[in-house]
Structure 1
């Protein structure tokens, strides 16, 4: 297994730029600004979309900002809907950093996409993000007719920490008998709080997301909370039976690879239909690097097709 040449060139360029601080050496607000600037530079910009609408919805601790994406050439019929939770270690990331990804998902899948700007840590620690994520899916189901979506075709998705939230919401929805979630897309998800797995050891440094970075994110989010709580570590749930079908993506050179694969295997063992895809030469975050990685663009399209087929 070797790094994709485009990935290697990107990592080499980052390593050579010694003037740029690490995200974990910045205060959270500085880290958010740096991540926003990185997204603007490395992800696709100005992708066409049928329509976007920024609004707020009621949440457990106040209004939650969301962005609703209507795909190009959408008709007047109720559309399937994807509720998307952005990545960023529960500390960074927002509607802007994942705008290109949500636009691509909408256009390629034909779904209306609703991106959720949940509360971030450390200002709002665990389980604030979980509470917001679940409230957003509940709102989508309750308001399906007014936003033009089919309440019987709701999917959840997210990358990294957002994949964690999607997995957790799917579990909570099962346990509370709703909302009814038809499909889940988990993109290099955080499924555990164990930072000593084989992939953590193999890719601890030099591969974009580093072990120290994940420790920083988990510490900011979890605080003194129980790190074995399934709402934080969904791999530790007592049972994964009865969850919606899943599409699970991992990257070959990612500290989170092993826990993503373990979650896919655990879902299969519990009788859940799973499609697991590992992109051997990729690093964490490659879905958000569409401007510089050909495989990134192809991977988003492949996940969108799986979503389209699942909700057809």
Structure 2
């Protein structure tokens, strides 16, 4: 694909600004350096909290979390941040969570799960599951799972473990890593896409596991599950120019075959990580509006798709 023509000027400006803080060779640095570079880049895009939103930090057992509210809500959004299971945290997606809270009225709980390489799979899954179970046990009302990239993977894995729980009313997964053949489809078509490459995916996989990538473990790779029934209504939102896009198509097909309400939006001309561009890139802004619309529809127990 000729990205020079397919990606619009606003998105290129976003890509270029990102590269000023997070250059393409960042993955060649130590993990500590990668985290520092990523955190600096996220601060450069930070837009603050909307008026009326406040946040407090809590520990759930050993797991740091940040709870956002704009007056209190019966419904809770569990948000799992992206970052390849290696970088990111409560601050990297701080304004995203605050805006979700303000635009939906729902409380949002962001989870600072343990990351690789210090903590291998299933540590990150265990933390996201434990935090969600704690919220289900200590708060009344329904729960929606949401996350981007690695966090989208974690949202899906938690939904599979908690399938059939009547208080789990939906999941919204944003350019999630759901699985698929690393040697086929979008992994090759977009192997050298801006913002995320196939080689970077292989690096993150290499540090996430103790040994080879699992082949039959839906707590790591949702598409490796053998059963997709009784999952909550699911909204998938991917970036067209992204190696992991085909996973959304395959996950949609698996859920559809199992009779689950599911819809997939593949955002034309967008790249991995575009949420940070939601205030400067119209395509990203429109996609974030879709995220908000999906969360609001799920909160109403509505399925408009």
Q: TM over 0.5, yes or no? A: yes
> Does 1:240 pair with 2:243?
no
Q: Secondary structure at the match of 1:56?
A: strand
Q: Determine if the alignment matches structure 1 residue 208 to structure 2 residue 207.
A: no
Match of 1:222 in 2: 209
Q: Is 1:276 matched with 2:275? A: no
What is the CA deviation profile of residues 130-181 of structure 1, one whole-angstrom value per residue up to 9, with x for unaligned ones?
Answer: 000000000001110xxxxx43x1011110110000000000012xx64841
- Taking the aligned partners of 1:216 and 1:198, their CA distance within structure 2 comes to 19
Q: Is the 8 Å Cα contact of residues 203 and 254 (structure 1) preserved in structure 2? A: yes
* Secondary structure, aligned partner of 1:223: coil
User: CA distance change for structure 1 residues 69 and 22 in 2, over 3 Å: closer, same or farther?
Assistant: same
Helix, strand or coil at the partner of 2:102: helix
Name the count of aligned residue pairs: 295
SS of structure 1 residue aligned to 2:32: helix
Correspondence for 1:195 among 158, 161, 182: 182
In structure 2, how many angstroms separate the alpha carbons of the residues matched to 1:81 and 1:13?
33
- Give 5+ residue unaligned stretches, structure 2: 301-305
Task: State the partner residue of 2:15.
Answer: 11
TM score, norm. by length of structure 1? 0.88
Alignment partner, residue 53 of structure 1: 56
Contact 1:241 1:267 in 2 (8 A): yes
TM, length-normalised to structure 2: 0.90
Residue 303 of structure 2: aligned partner? none
Aligned mates of 1:42, 1:92 — CA distance in 2: 16
Match of 1:302 in 2: 290
SS in 1 for 2:168: coil
- For 2:30, the equivalent position in structure 1 comes to 27
Greater RCO structure (CA 8 Å; 6+ sep): 1
Instruction: Tell me by how many angstroms 1:267 deviates.
Output: 1.1
Counterpart Cα distance in 2 of 1:5 and 1:269: 39
* Matching of residues 71-220 of structure 1 within 5 Å: 71=70, 74=71, 78-144=73-139, 150-151=140-141, 153-174=142-163, 178=165, 180-192=167-179, 194-220=181-207
Runs of 5+ unmatched residues, structure 1? 145-149
Q: Shift of the alpha carbon at 1:12? A: 4.9
Cα distance 1:133–1:19, how it changes in 2: closer, same or farther (>3 A)?
closer
SS at 1:95 equivalent: coil
